[in-house]
Amino acid sequence: MVKQKIIETEICVIGAGSGGLSVASGAAQLGMDVVLIEKAEMGGDCLNTGCVPSKALLAAGKRAQAHRKNDISGIKAHEPEIDFSAVKDHVFDVIGTIAPHDSQERFEGLGVHVIREFGEFVDSHTIKAGDHIIKAKKFVIATGSRAFVPPIKGIDESKVLTNESIFELRDKPDHLLIIGGGPIGLEMAQAHRRLGCEVSVFDMGGILPRDDQKNVEVVRQALIKEGVELYENFSISEVKHGAKTHSVIGDHNGKEVTVKGSHILVATGRQPNSDNLGLDNANVKYDRRGVIVNDKLQSSQKHIYAIGDVAGGPQFTHVAGYHAGLLIKQICFKIPAKVNYAALPWVTYTDPELAQVGLTEDIAREKYGDSIKIVEWHFNENDRAIAEKTMDGQARVITDKKGRVLGASIVGPHAGELIAVWGLAISQKMKIGAMTSTIVAYPTLGEINKRAAGAYYTPSLFSDKTRKIVRFIQKLPW
């Protein structure tokens, strides 16, 4: 009989994804005693099956697409030679390069006690992990989420791909059928199309419903132009699996449509990894969205916190990191800190990129009515974009009637980088005038933001009233 090892600690973190690792490293480096429990791979979904491999695959697709472009005179376009299996080597090389930063060895070097077992609550102050019994003053649940496969008639989870399996695929799909038109589905659609696959995307509504719809249209047209088949407002009635061919069957604009392909990728959202944690044993309340937490990220047991995807909020890696920072303040420094998503950015890494922070136009109108003001500036009016032939896109900024920035959406090259200044404006409750007084290097894409801000003042600045004021000033002695 194996003797159980009892460990007493200040903080016990369950889950070594981005959020859990941030809490563990931060607390350990601040001198606290930390135990980190993880049965699966260190780094979690983001490193191994999410953000990192998807961006590596997108980068490969972008390089391939650059060969096909014939928009600059003197550069002859051609179809690139693509070794799909070698592209996957690139994906795993990227993961391998980043992995040491999240490794067990590094965290043990920081003073974290890492236990590579599955953890389950015995009671509200105790977790069992293998032959270890961990008693802690504070617990942090950071177990993340996993792909959700909807209960469609005929679908067999063992015969479809998710983000957890698609990067392992070495043979190039002839025709990839993607169920789900959200960020994951569209990123994988464009990457695989550029790498030589036929791609069809199915969504029960419109693609990217949470984003600014005028900017979504730019992404939609870009995907269609590259040959991605979009079946929006498609109600799937059945999936059929064959030996080499799979079929998606459903209603599209009142007609029954069957689309056949070689592979099916399901990208219909995520479900929290909150089961099998023994939450009932700890009297921690949870629902289908995950652990129920307050604005301090505390569960129904105040010494047990939940962060990241398992906490039921926005499912982004940077949210998990943000949550971790709030916990470091609360637990290590005992500084009150509450969640505030007012300036939360998100990005869909298609080409062009689509980035959003703060309120969208639809939500702003619901909250403020017609008192909001929306200004735009287009990439085809930006000299850098013109020089690089990347002119599809625009920035749209929303303010209240006093000019305070409420939200921004950018579609275009490097939109994910350009959106950051608007997040700062929202978090600091700045007015749009602050952007107009900023000196921006020329020629840069960053001028898009300043020009959009300047457009806010154009109607009043060049009005008849202003002209009269200028004429009057000119009559005054200098």
Model pLDDT, residue 171: 95
Handedness of CA 454, 458, 461, 467 (dihedral sign): positive
387 versus 464: the higher-pLDDT residue is 387
Which is nearest to 234 in space by CA: 248, 220, 221, 250? 250
Q: Can you list the domains of the chain with their CATH numbers?
A: 5-42+103-147+271-332 (3.50.50.60), 157-268 (3.50.50.60), 345-461 (3.30.390.30)
Q: Is 336 a residue whose pLDDT tops 60?
A: yes
| Both structure tokens of 360 | 């969208």
- Token match 């792909």: residue? 147
Determine contact, residues 252/231, Cβ cutoff 8 Å: yes
The C-alpha atoms of residue 438 and residue 432 are separated, in whole angstroms, by 11
CA 44 to the chain's CA centroid: 15
Determine contact, residues 377/452, Cβ cutoff 8 Å: yes
Model pLDDT, residue 474: 86
Residue 130, by phi and psi: left (phi above 0), alpha (psi -120 to 50) or beta? left
Q: What's the pLDDT band for 2 if we cut at 50, 70, 90?
A: low
The C-alpha atoms of residue 42 and residue 219 are separated, in whole angstroms, by 34
Model pLDDT, residue 75: 94
Give me the residues paired with residue 81 across strands: none
pLDDT tens across 119-137, in order?
Answer: 999 999 999 999 999 999 9
Model pLDDT, residue 1: 55
What is the model's pTM?
0.94
Give me the residues paired with residue 264 across strands: 177
Determine contact, residues 178/166, Cβ cutoff 8 Å: no
Please state, in angstroms and as integers, the Cα–Cα distance from residue 115 to each residue in 4, 12, 39, following that order: 13, 10, 8
pLDDT tens across 40-50, in order?
Answer: 999 999 999 99
Q: What's the pLDDT band for 314 if we cut at 50, 70, 90?
A: very high
Please state, in angstroms and as integers, the Cα–Cα distance from residue 241 to each residue in 23, 213, 238, 262, following that order: 43, 34, 10, 10
Model pLDDT, residue 469: 80
Helix then strand then coil, in percent of the chain rounded to 5, is 35, 25, 40
Q: What's the pLDDT band for 472 if we cut at 50, 70, 90?
A: confident
pLDDT tens across 237-293, in order?
Answer: 999 999 999 999 999 999 999 999 999 999 999 999 999 999 999 999 999 999 999
Q: Calculate the average pLDDT of the chain.
A: 96
